[in-house]
Amino acid sequence: MKVSYDLESITPHTVANTTGEGRGNTGGVALRNFCIAIDSTMFVKTGEILRKNLENKFSVPVKYLVITHYHGDHIFGIKPFKDVCVLSSEMTSKIMLNSETKSRYQVFIKDLAKEGPIGEGIEYIVPTLLFTEKLIIQDEDLFVEIFHTGGHTAGSSFISFPHEKVVFAGDLIFENTFPYAGDPTCNPELLIEALEKMKNIKADTYVPGHGPIMKGADSLEKHINFYKDLRNIIKDAISDDLDPAKVSVPDVFGEPDEGRKNVTVNTWLNFYKNK
């Protein structure tokens, strides 16, 4: 089975893959003496090609792999990066070490192996370098900033590369598709705050966790408004004691996947009922 995983040049020091071949988007940043991979895809094979292509592209080794959050399409490809520093927010590590998460993902990994060679060889690897609010990785005059915001998940983070005005958003952004905002640890308020924080950075380019690359800070406005509108709808549904199945969602991203919509609505209803 032939697997390809090409990287698109964004700026001279940044690349990304947004094709969906690894299920979740990934990226890479080249500093002076090493590069940083961002997320690892769903599969060992695509993670392997990601690393190889990064090192071939920039002619420096991968020194760090940043994991934006704990979902399988961002962590199951970590195996080819075992010899580098794998880092995440402390909360991401905590969630991954939770016995319920580990049990659920063991089943997930077994099911992926049934998909054939592409799903084989996955190891459940927990990041070893952890941070709480912000981490800076510097190499001579270049640096990246990693912010733990929560939101999409309790451990969600995004990465900013100020030198070239690029932000890697992880799944805090789903572009051109109805977002999955139904993780058990999702915090709608922190999700909105994270998007506003990203917008205030005023980057030229935003790489979402899913979907195509976005240009300019104004491109985040529709995402912020979507979540604010959804928040109002959910609060009204609670006041009106509306059946969750009858809750309508904003149509910014077209007709939503029914399963993704339902889990998102139920998660947000539970959040605001208990707030």
90 vs 75: CA distance, rounded Å: 15
Q: What is the pLDDT of residue 2?
A: 76
Q: What is the pLDDT of residue 67?
A: 98
What pTM was computed for the model? 0.97
**Eight-class DSSP state of 256:** P
Q: What is the pLDDT of residue 275?
A: 77
Domains of the chain, earliest start first: 8-220 (3.60.15.10)
All residues at 6 or more sequence positions from 220 whose CB lies less than 8 Å from its CB, including other chains: 173, 195, 198, 199, 206, 214
Q: What is the pLDDT of residue 115?
A: 86
Q: What is the pLDDT of residue 1?
A: 63
Give the sheet arrangement for strand 129-131, strand by strand. 8-11, 14-17, 26-30, 35-38, 62-66, 85-89, 129-131
Question: pLDDT 10s digit of each residue in the chain, 275 long?
Answer: 678 899 999 999 999 999 999 999 999 999 999 999 999 999 999 999 999 999 999 999 999 999 999 999 999 999 999 999 999 999 999 999 999 999 999 999 999 999 889 999 999 999 999 999 999 999 999 999 999 999 999 999 999 999 999 999 999 999 999 999 999 999 999 999 999 999 999 999 999 999 999 999 999 999 999 999 999 999 999 999 999 999 999 999 988 889 999 999 999 999 999 87
CB 97 within 8 A of CB 116: no
CA pseudo-torsion sign 221, 223, 226, 227: negative
Residue 168's H or E segment, with its range, is: strand 166-174
**Eight-class DSSP state of 218:** G
Q: What is the pLDDT of residue 214?
A: 98
Helix ranges (DSSP H) in the chain = 44-58, 72-75, 90-97, 99-113, 188-201, 221-239, 258-273
